[in-house]
Structure 1
Amino acid sequence: MSTPPPTGPLVTRDTLAADLRALGVRTGETLLVHSSLSSLGWVNGGPVTLVQGLLDALGPDGTLVVPTQSGDLSDPALWSNPPVPEDWWPTIRATMPAYDPRVTPSRGVGVIPETVRTWPGALRSAHPETSFAALGPGAARIVEGHAPDCRLGERSPLARLEAGGARVLLLGAGYDTCTSFHLAEYRVPSPVVEVGRPSPEGWRTVREVSITSDLFAELGADFERDRPVVRGTVGAAAARLFPVAEAVAYAERWLPLHRPRDLYVEVASAPGGSGSRRRP
């Protein structure tokens, strides 16, 4: 039985850069990218080619930012896909490696963030579960000072991206991946939860704003209906481009009107993954 040929289009570094420029990516800007490599078509060179194409479109003065989450550094009591036996929990907590931005791999965010994380010159923020990695002249300013008790709020790279006029590129990814919406959750009334994770000093618990992406697809659809979002294609992938600040401001108004008022609880959707935080 013969192997079917790959589905196209054939995508190269040059075609990626050209498509990104045609979409509206500007030389010298800061871009927060959420991506799906498989949506693009047959990419010659895979994730390396995509990162090169993004860097080509941004130019030497631009900065590329990606989420490099590592939700497996979390409390095993919350893991659900699959769960682990309860009698394992104490040992897992006692032996789980602490976060190290240099070596801890990203998880659950796709192959492109991991490629950026390991790229020469990349810098990564310090939060053990919701870090970001950045490449370019603005990288240090964006990733520094990510507080361990502030996943995606005012002391995270998201606030610096908002203040610096960065834009979001959804590249074959939906609004459910749009981390910028989480910044709004820190600015509207939200419950606070206790979150356990490893640290160099051992297992520790911090208080965090409870966050959920459960309504982000609906939020994103309304945002796109009401605000100017650049839409196009890159390779075969649907692409959307919009300012971080506009997404956050819209979500600040939308969330209090649409999300349920009962408390959220932490539920991990993969073994050690951060997943979404679902209501009970």
Structure 2
Amino acid sequence: MSTTPPAGPLCTRDSLASELRDLGLRPGETLLVHSSLSSLGWVCGGPGAVVMALLDVLGDHGTLVVPTHSGDNSDPAGWCDPPVPEAWWAEIRVSMPPYDPRTTPTHGVGAIPETVRNWPGAARSAHPQTSFAAVGPRASAIVDSHALDCRLGERSPLARLEEVGARILLLGAGYASCTAFHLAEYRIPAPQVDISFAIMTPQGRCWSTVRDTSITDDRFDDLGAAFEKERPVVRGTVGAAEARLFSLADAVAYAQVWLAEHRPRPSSVPSPS
């Protein structure tokens, strides 16, 4: 049994809510949150306390949105972290459980999104790899109609968030996590790639392949640093975490110009893994 004291500071629902208000979160707004629970310190109540603090600040008329991605539902031929033997690929494609917005767990996005996914009244979008979950009065309008051939583009929740004037909170997360930058990728010339996943259809489970825009988070950290120098970004501390708060629409517009100028487009990108 470890006798090492936990790393602080001690964070509670009330202390987190107070610091989020000090950062500038407003009641009634729509907020997309990218987060790292471990960056906050020792949170009394774990990820549930963080979600409650966010909902406390947003109030009854605000809407909380998080990425609930499940990129492991993808073609094993593109897996690299870690890869699997080629001899397994066919069986994985046959056996991969189909995406179910009610039960499919998140993958690689942290404990806070997984908690929101299971929150009473949460709504979740239909994409097998890049879903979003939302809690609040705008939840259904934001997550409905997420097209299978549009991971993070015009027919995804990101575009709906842009339409309602949402802001982004990076809570202990860096700009590499900023999914809104991907919406900009759909608005500049880009190649198309095959994306595969297991889904349910009226005829039952199937392995489906669609064509979609090639996306990558390459150089998102550089993009974020440039954005922060030129556009309004509120910076502060929540618990031990560095926090950033900014307009989603502003980030997308800036990224559309910056990416076209600074980053050559790849010919293809593997499916998420």
Is the TM-score greater than 0.5?
yes
Where in structure 1 are there 5+ consecutive unaligned residues?
Answer: 274-280
Mapped pair 1:260 → 2:258:
no
Distance 1:32 1:225 in 2: 21
Distance 1:2 1:102 in 2: 37
Residue 42 of structure 2 corresponds to 42
Deviation at 1:265, TM superposition (A): 2.3
Asked whether the equivalents of residues 63 and 136 of structure 2 are also in contact (C-alpha less than 8 Å), the reply is: yes
Residue 278 of structure 1 corresponds to none
Residue 173 of structure 1 corresponds to 173
Q: Cα deviations across residues 5-61 of structure 1 (Å, max 9, x unaligned)?
A: 112111100000000000000000000000001111111011010000000010111
Asked whether the equivalents of residues 229 and 240 of structure 1 are also in contact (C-alpha less than 8 Å), the reply is: yes
Mapped pair 1:219 → 2:223:
yes
Asked whether the equivalents of residues 80 and 267 of structure 1 are also in contact (C-alpha less than 8 Å), the reply is: no
Alignment of 1:130-209 (within 5 A): 130-200=130-200, 201-209=205-213
Distance 1:2 1:119, change over 3 A: closer
Distance 1:233 1:107 in 2: 26
Q: Bigger CA drift: 78-87 or 224-233?
A: 78-87
Distance 2:104 2:2 in 1: 40
Asked whether the equivalents of residues 216 and 269 of structure 2 are also in contact (C-alpha less than 8 Å), the reply is: no
What residue identity is the alignment partner of 1:146?
H
Aligned length: 269
Moved segments of 4+, more than 6 Å: none
Deviation at 1:225, TM superposition (A): 0.4
Distance 1:262 1:139, change over 3 A: closer
Deviation at 1:267, TM superposition (A): 5.5
What residue identity is the alignment partner of 1:225?
K
Deviation at 1:263, TM superposition (A): 1.3
Distance 1:188 1:160 in 2: 19
Distance 1:30 1:197 in 2: 30
Alignment of 1:74-153 (within 5 A): 74-153=74-153
Alignment of 1:16-95 (within 5 A): 16-95=16-95
Percent identical residues? 68
* Other structure's SS at 1:128 match: coil
Residue 277 of structure 1 corresponds to none
Asked whether the equivalents of residues 233 and 239 of structure 1 are also in contact (C-alpha less than 8 Å), the reply is: yes
Where in structure 2 are there 5+ consecutive unaligned residues?
Answer: none
Deviation at 1:73, TM superposition (A): 0.5
Distance 1:167 1:177 in 2: 15
Distance 1:223 1:166 in 2: 17
Deviation at 1:199, TM superposition (A): 2.0
Asked whether the equivalents of residues 14 and 53 of structure 1 are also in contact (C-alpha less than 8 Å), the reply is: yes
Asked whether the equivalents of residues 35 and 171 of structure 1 are also in contact (C-alpha less than 8 Å), the reply is: yes
* Other structure's SS at 2:108 match: coil
Distance 2:206 2:152 in 1: 23
Residue 250 of structure 1 corresponds to 254
Distance 1:77 1:121, change over 3 A: same
Distance 1:251 1:266 in 2: 22
What residue identity is the alignment partner of 2:28?
G
TM-score by length of 2: 0.96
